[in-house]
Amino acid sequence: MSTAVSELELTSSFRAALPELGVDWEATELPDPRLVAFNDALAVELGLTALRDDVEVLAGQRLLPGSHPIAMAYAGHQFGSYNPQLGDGRALLLGEITTAEGRLVDLHLKGSGRTPFARGGDGRAALGPMLREFVFAEALHALGVPTTRALAVITTGDRVHRAGDDVGALLVRTAASHLRVGTFEYAARLPDRSALRRLTDHAIERHHPDAADTEEPALGLLDAVVGAQAELIARWMLIGFVHGVMNTDNTTISGETIDYGPCAFMNRFDPDTVFSSIDHGGRYRYAHQPSIAEWNLTRLAESLLPLLVVEDRSNLDESVARVRAVLETFMPRFRSAWERGMRAKLGLVEDRPDDGRLFDDLVTAMRDDRADLTLTFRMLGDELRRDAQLVSAPVDHGDAVAAWVPRWRERLTAEARDTSEVVAAMDAVNPVYVPRNHLVEEALDAAADGDLDPFRELLSVVTDPFTPRPGAERYALPAPDEFDRTYQTFCGT
Ligand code: AMP
Ligand code: MG
C-alpha cells in the first residue's frame, strides 16, 4: 500500500526531548534538484514510495507536516583528539518517520548547506561521495550488517569545489537514529545536568528499552551499546570492511554503521590494511577496529559516569569499577560474535573447544597467502560443491590456506551433515559480490561524466550479494594486487 505525499507526516521527538542538542535550520535553496538514485526497496519498507516523484520534499525544499529540521550538535574524539563542538556542518535531521511496525526512523539530509556547525566547510557534498555512501550502505545492509540506509541521491544543479570542480549532490539518509557517542560527550559537558539524563532516557527508549528495567539504566544503556558495537565490529571483520574514520562522532548508539567516508573493503587479507589518505598512523586499520571500538565505548562510559555518581562523589570509585566491568565485556563479546560468524561462514553448527584456534589459523593462512577474503570463503563452498559433483571448477587456494583446508574438512566430517545442506548454508552467508574498490571507482568516475549505468549495475550486484549472476563474473574478481595495495580513499567528501 502506498501513502500519498500529502498523507506523510514526520515527528520531531528528538528535538522536543533535547532542544539544546540542535539548532533549528533549513536546507539551502537548490537551483535545480534532480533525482539520480532512489531506493525503491527501502521506500516500500518505510512507506515512502510517494517521495520518488517529489524531489522538492526529498531535498528539503518543501517540508512535510511535523518536520522541524535541525542541525544536531555533538562533540567527538577525532583520531584520538577531543573536539568539543562538531555537529552537523552540512547535514540536517528532517524528523522521524514512524514505520508500520511503530519503529522511529530518522530522515536526514547530507550536503544540504552550511549550518552554524560548518566551521570552515562549505556545507556541501559532491556526487561521487554521496553515491559511494549509497553503494556501501546498501551493500552492507544486503550483507546483514546493521547500517544507516540510503534513500536517495539528488544532484543540486550547482557545482562544488573539491579536488576539482564537481557535481553538487545531496544524500537522503535514514537511520535508527543519529545518536552518537559524540552526542553523549557533548551532553555530558553541558551546564544543565538534566540534558544528559534526558538524552540517556531518549536513547534507552528508542534503542535499548530493556535497559530501562535494569537497576541502573545508564549502566544498562552502556551494556547494551557495548553489545551492539561488539556485534557490529564482528560483522565488519568477517566481511573485510574497513570503516576508515572510527571517530566517536561516527560511532552510533544504535549499533548501526554510519558515515561512509574513506571506507573500503579489504580484498587481499592484510591486517594492516589502511585506505584513508589521512590515517597516517594506521589508527583505523582493519585489525585495529575492535580495540578502537572499545576505546570509543570508553568515551561513552566516561560521559555516562556523572549519572552514576552521587553528589558528594562518595561512590566514585565504585561507579568507575562498575563501568569498567561493563567495558571489559566488549572483547569477549566481540570475540564470541566473531566466532559465531566464522562458524557460519565455514558451514559448521557445533561449538567445539578448538574452534577458536581453527578460525585464527585460517586468518593467519589468508594473511600468509594474501588471499582474497571474499573469494576464499566462496571457494571453500566450491570444494564441497565439487565433492557433491555440483561443479567441476578447480579450487585454487594459496599454499597456506590449502594446508589448512584438511583440518576444516575433518571438522566438517565430524558433524556429519548433508553436504548440500552445508553448501547452502555457506552460500547464504559468504557473498560472491562485495563493492570492490576498482569497481566502485569505475562506477563513480562514469557517474561524474554523466553515465549512471555502471553505478546502477554495481548497486544491483552488491545488493543481491549471495546469488551468482551469469554475466557478472568480473564483479566477483579482485583487482590486480597493485590496485588495492596503492588504493587511497579521501575524507574531503
Ligand atoms: P564526517 O567525517 O563526514 O563524519 O564529518 C566530520 C565533521 O565535519 C562533521 O561535523 C561534519 O558535519 C563536518 N563536515 C564534513 N564535511 C563538511 C562540509 N563540506 N561542510 C561543513 N561541514 C562538514
Ligand atoms: Mg560524521
b/e map 327-366, b = 16+ CB within 10 Å: beebeebbebbbbebbbbbbbbeeeeeebeebbebbbebb
| Atom of ligand 1 minimally distant from the CA of 86 | 10
Task: Tell me the backbone φ, ψ of residue 373, rounded to 5 degrees.
Answer: -60, -50
Distance CA 380, CA 55 (A): 46
pLDDT tens figures, 439-477: 999 999 999 999 999 999 999 999 999 999 999 999 999
Coil, strand or helix at 489: strand
DSSP state of 63: P
Q: How far is CA 109 from the centre of its chain?
A: 17
Q: Strand ranges (DSSP E) for 162-193?
A: 165-175
| Ligand 1 centroid to residue 449 C-alpha, Å | 25
Side chain identity at residue 116, one-letter code:
P
Q: What is the pLDDT along the chain (493 residues), one digit of tens a residue?
A: 578 999 999 999 999 999 999 999 999 999 999 999 999 999 999 999 999 999 999 999 999 999 999 999 999 999 999 999 999 999 999 999 999 999 999 999 999 999 999 999 999 999 999 999 999 999 999 999 999 999 999 999 999 998 888 999 999 999 999 999 999 999 999 999 999 999 999 999 999 999 999 999 999 999 999 999 999 999 999 999 999 999 999 999 999 999 999 999 999 999 999 999 999 999 999 999 999 999 999 999 999 999 999 999 999 999 999 999 999 999 999 999 999 999 999 999 999 999 999 999 999 999 999 999 999 999 999 999 888 776 666 678 999 999 999 999 999 999 999 999 999 999 999 999 999 999 999 999 999 999 999 999 999 999 999 999 999 999 999 988 888 888 999 875 5
- Its pTM surpasses 0.85: yes
Contact predicate 208/179, CB 8 Å: no
- Please report where in the chains the cell 552518537 appears, as a residue: 180
Of 85, 90, 493, the residue with max ligand 1 atoms within 8 A of its CB, to mutate for a pocket test, comes to 90
DSSP state of 301: H
The secondary structure of 392-405 as a DSSP string is -------HHHHHHH
Task: Tell me the backbone φ, ψ of residue 197, rounded to 5 degrees.
Answer: -65, -45
| Ligand 1 centroid to residue 374 C-alpha, Å | 32
pLDDT tens figures, 386-427: 887 766 666 789 999 999 999 999 999 999 999 999 999 999
C-alpha angle 115/108/63, rounded to 5°? Answer: 85
Side chain identity at residue 98, one-letter code:
T
Which one is catalytic: 54, 106, 249, 372? 249
Cell numbers that stand for 149 in this block: 540506509
Residue whose CA is at the smallest distance from ligand 1 atom 8: 89
C-alpha angle 420/426/431, rounded to 5°? Answer: 130
| Ligand 1, pocket residues at CB < 6 Å | 86-91, 117-118, 121-124, 245, 250, 259, 261, 491
The confidence score (pLDDT) of residue 485 equals 85
Task: Tell me the backbone φ, ψ of residue 377, rounded to 5 degrees.
Answer: -70, -35
Helices 453-462 & 127-142 angle (0-180, nearest 10) = 20
Size of the chain, expressed as the number of residues it contains: 493
pLDDT tens figures, 63-107: 999 999 999 999 999 999 999 999 999 999 999 999 999 999 999
| Atom of ligand 1 minimally distant from the CA of 249 | 4
Distance CA 411, CA 120 (A): 57
The overall longest dimension of the chain from CA atoms, in Å, is 73
Who contacts 95 (Cβ-Cβ below 8 Å, separation ≥6)?
10, 11, 12, 15, 64, 66, 67, 68, 69, 106, 107
pLDDT more than 90, % of the chain: 93
